[in-house]
Amino acid sequence: MKPEDSQNQDTSKGKHLHKAALILARGGSKGIPLKNIKVLAGVPLIGWVLRAALDTELLDSVWVSTDHDEIERVAKLWGAQVIRRSPEVSKDSSSSLDTIQEFLKLRPEVDIVCHIQATSPCLHPYHIMEALKMILEEGYNYVFAAVRRYQFRWTQMKKEEGKDPVPLNININKRPRRQDWPGEICENGSFYFSKREILENGFKECGRTAYYEMLPEHSVDIDVDIDWPVAQERVLRFGYFGRDKPGEFKLLLCSVSGCLTDGQIFTSVSGEEMVSTHTRDLIAIRMLQSENIEVILISSSEDPIPKALAEKLAQRAGCTLRHGVERKQPEVEHLLKERGLQWRDVAFLGTDMQDVECLSNAGLSGVPPHAPAAAVIAAKYTCHSPAGHGALWEFADHVLLLKKKATSKADEERIDRINF
């Protein structure tokens, strides 16, 4: 038996322990409608935790429990298995425990449930791995995610009762400095891991319990709309982007029809054909070029935009055009060979079926909203802005953010976590 195999064995029963990640994603969020699939930094919110779970080697399966068709569609696009919850556990009054117990009845093979919250986009595979090992190797039955907080707590003031607030965790005569105080451990809501029997008995007997402490920069929980822009900035810096690390991109390729334009061709009374572009997208091209990222427009042989019109568009954008390409992947590989680059150096914004191979291979790939399912699956980023109306600007901004992230990794090690 391999050393890692011993972690998967129940020594008392001599069987493999099935470890399942479970994300509960009900469609009836009251704070933010369909919050679980709202796009955060180019990725559906649930996609961030699914990406981390699917890249965790110790897990045997990754499930999403939902009552909503669109959440099911998105979860499957991101590689999860889906279980439809019953109406009985889809009510506003239904608890997470009710839903998990229903899951266990339907999945008798599961021994350990890794209940992960969809609203924790800064989760990484190593968080899951290390917490899971606390159950597999250290003998704990229940492990939850926590963060160290440095906040002084008081009782609630009730004026109608004439009661003043009372300090709960400090002596106000000896108020400690933050650096001299260990703080307090608080649940951060990222995940709750448990053996099957603990969940089946409704936590009546938990046995050995432990917390897994996460750093504050990874403890992001989205509950209300005002959290969204803050979370977006946080996830761009501290989120998990997959096994491939963000790189310093040297080349950006953009499909003409359906990315730089919205795919429409207008015909004037005189018969002249025209397309529309967004000024921000043209500015984005110059912005990338100023950061030494070459931009090339590319169109397939099936693109309805005539060559003369595409050339005029490229001239206005100030970049190179590859028009009428029969197969995009060999064309891109030829471009890379000419420039001494590799796929990881490429950012690719595409939309049609011929783009899928390039979207899969590129170091960073993006699609406009409403792209075909195959393209969405292959891409790492889904734009919020429509094609021809700011999609390239948004994708270019993301490219530059990741480039900055790659070149400023050392800054993360200098975070003042006590005062975070």
**Ramachandran area for residue 245 (φ above 0: left; ψ -120 to 50: alpha; else beta):** beta
Helix axes 45-54, 125-136, angle to 10 degrees: 50
Catalytic residue, candidates 149, 175, 316, 339? 175
Residue with tokens 């556990």: 89
According to DSSP, the residues that pair with 140 across neighbouring strands are none
What is the Cα–Cα distance from 40 to 229, expressed in whole angstroms?
Answer: 9
User: How many CA atoms, within 13 angstroms, populate the side-chain half-sphere of residue 383?
Assistant: 32
Catalytic status, residue 175: yes
Of the candidates 145, 120, 135, the one whose C-alpha atom is nearest the C-alpha of residue 20 is 135
Count CB-CB contacts under 10 A for residue 393. Answer: 20
Q: 140-149 burial by CB neighbour count: b if 16+ within 10 A, else e?
A: bbbbbbbbbe
- Measured between alpha carbons, how far is 348 from 253 in angstroms, rounded to an integer? 5
What's the Cα-to-Cα distance from 399 to each of 96, 130, 277, 366, rounded to whole Å?
37, 31, 20, 10
Instruction: Give me the active site residues, please.
Output: 175
